[in-house]
Amino acid sequence: MKTKLIGMLLAGLVTSSCVGHAQDYPKTRAEMMKLVQGLKYQQGEIKIQDGLATLNVPTNFNYLNPSDAETVLVKLWRNPPSIRTLGLLMPADKTPLDEDCWVVTISYADDGYVKDDDASKINYDKLLKKMQDATRENNQARTAKGYPAIELVGWAAPPRYDAATHKLYWAKELKFGHQADNTLNYDIRILGRRGVLVLDAVASMSQLGEIEKQTPQILSMVDFSGGSRYADFDPKVDKVATYGIAALVAGGIAAKLGFFKLIWVFLLAAKKFVIIAFVAVVAWFRKIFGKGRSPGPTG
C-alpha cells in the first residue's frame, strides 16, 4: 500500500481531542497486517443494533461488526476515534490495506418517522444550487479555522427515492482545498418506523461506476426488521421527525449523528475523514430552507 494511504493527517487536525494519541496506531506494516488478520468477516444473515435491522450479506461482500469497523476506520485508516458505526460492508475481494478498497459504513439516527410526502415535489437542481451557495458562504469561516475550503461540484448521481421500499440514495462530488482528486460522497438512507438507517460509501470519484453497479445489491441486503419498518409506524405512539426528504438530502441527518458543530466527510484518497467546520449549521440550513424553519434536530 502506498504511503499516501496511511500518511499523516491533514495539517491542523492532529489534536488529542479529535484523533487520539499517535501510539494508538500501528507503526509498521507487520503491525497493520496483524490487525487485518484479526478481523472477523461475516456473511449471511446478521442482526444489527439489537435486532433493529437485518443484513443479508452475500458471498461477494463482507460485514465487519462495530469493533472491527473501528479497527479499520481508526487504527488502520487513522480516522478520529470518536467515529462510531453499526459496522461496515466491503467487497469480499478487498482488504483494508488494498489501495482500491472501498467500504460502506452503517449508522442509525433515531429522529423519528420521516414523512416522504415531499419526495415527488422536490426540485433537486434548485436544492443543489442552494447547497452550493451555502457551502461557498461558509468557506471563509472554515478556512479561518484552518480547515480546507469545500466546493460542492454537483451531483455525481442525483437523488432517487423508491417510495415502495422507502429507500433514498444519491451521490455528491466534492473538492477539498487544492486536492488533485475530487471526493465521492455516496449516500443511502433507509426510512424506518422510528428513524433512518444511514449508509455512506467511502470511495473515490473513480469508483463511482463500481458503486453505482453495486448499489441495487447493497440496497437489497439491508432493511429494518419486523416491527421497525416504515409500514409499522403508529401515529398514536411514534415520534415524527422534524425534517423531510429534502432536508435529509441537504444534510439534516448530520446533526443527529453527533456532528452538529462538525460534519465528517469521507476522503478515501488518504483513507481518512476530514473535519469540516460548519460554524453556524442552523444558519446554513435556513439559507437553504428559509428563515422560519429548521429542517433538522437542533441538539
* Domain ranges for the chain: 3-289
* Number of CB atoms found within 10 A of residue 277's CB: 16
Q: Where are the beta strands (DSSP E) in the chain?
A: 44-48, 53-57, 61-64, 88-91, 103-109, 150-162, 167-176, 183-191, 196-204, 222-224, 262-267, 272-277
* Bridge partners, residue 169, by sequence: 160, 188
**Residue 149: predicted pLDDT:** 85
pLDDT beyond 80 at 46: yes
Contacts of 160 (CB under 8 A, 6+ apart): 168, 169, 170
Give the position of cell 445489491. 217
Secondary-structure percent of the chain, ordered helix, strand, coil, rounded to 5? 30, 30, 40
Question: Identity (one letter) of the amino acid at 102?
Answer: W
**Residue 135: predicted pLDDT:** 83
Quick check: 112 and 241 in contact, CB under 8 A?
Answer: yes
Quick check: 201 and 211 in contact, CB under 8 A?
Answer: yes
Quick check: 183 and 269 in contact, CB under 8 A?
Answer: yes
pLDDT beyond 50 at 296: no
If one compares 10 and 47, the residue with the highest pLDDT of the two is: 47
Contacts of 86 (CB under 8 A, 6+ apart): 48, 49, 53, 66, 106, 107, 108
Lowest-pLDDT range of 131-135, 155-159, 287-291: 287-291
User: Ramachandran region of residue 173, left (φ > 0), alpha (ψ -120 to 50) or beta?
Assistant: beta
| Fold observed for domain 3-289 | Jelly Rolls (2.60.120)
Q: What is the pTM of this model?
A: 0.78
Quick check: 90 and 103 in contact, CB under 8 A?
Answer: yes
**Residue 294: predicted pLDDT:** 42
Lowest-pLDDT range of 4-13, 214-223, 233-242, 268-277: 4-13
Lowest-pLDDT range of 53-57, 100-104, 146-150, 259-263: 259-263
Determine the average pLDDT of the residues in 176-189: 85
What secondary structure does DSSP assign to 254-280, as a single string? Answer: HIIIIISSEEEEEETTTTEEEEEE-TT
In angstroms, rounded to a whole number, what is the distance separating the alpha carbons of residues 29 and 78? 14
> At CA 206, angle to CA 204 and CA 212, rounded to 5?
90
Q: What is the pLDDT of residues 211-233, one digit of tens each?
A: 999 999 999 999 999 999 999 99
If one compares 133 and 68, the residue with the highest pLDDT of the two is: 68
Contacts of 71 (CB under 8 A, 6+ apart): 35, 38, 39, 64
pLDDT beyond 60 at 278: no
Q: Round the average pLDDT of the chain to a whole number and report it.
A: 78
Determine the average pLDDT of the residues in 88-101: 93
If one compares 78 and 211, the residue with the highest pLDDT of the two is: 211
For the chain, give the percent of residues with pLDDT over 70.
75
Q: What is the pLDDT of residues 104-149, one digit of tens each?
A: 999 999 999 999 998 999 999 999 998 888 888 878 877 887 777 8
**Residue 290: predicted pLDDT:** 57
pLDDT band at 287 (very low <50, low <70, confident <90, very high): low
pLDDT band at 255 (very low <50, low <70, confident <90, very high): very low
Quick check: 85 and 106 in contact, CB under 8 A?
Answer: yes
**Residue 177: predicted pLDDT:** 84
In angstroms, rounded to a whole number, what is the distance separating the alpha carbons of residues 299 and 293? 15
**Residue 63: predicted pLDDT:** 98
Comparing CA positions, the residue from 44, 54, 49 lying closest to residue 86 is: 49
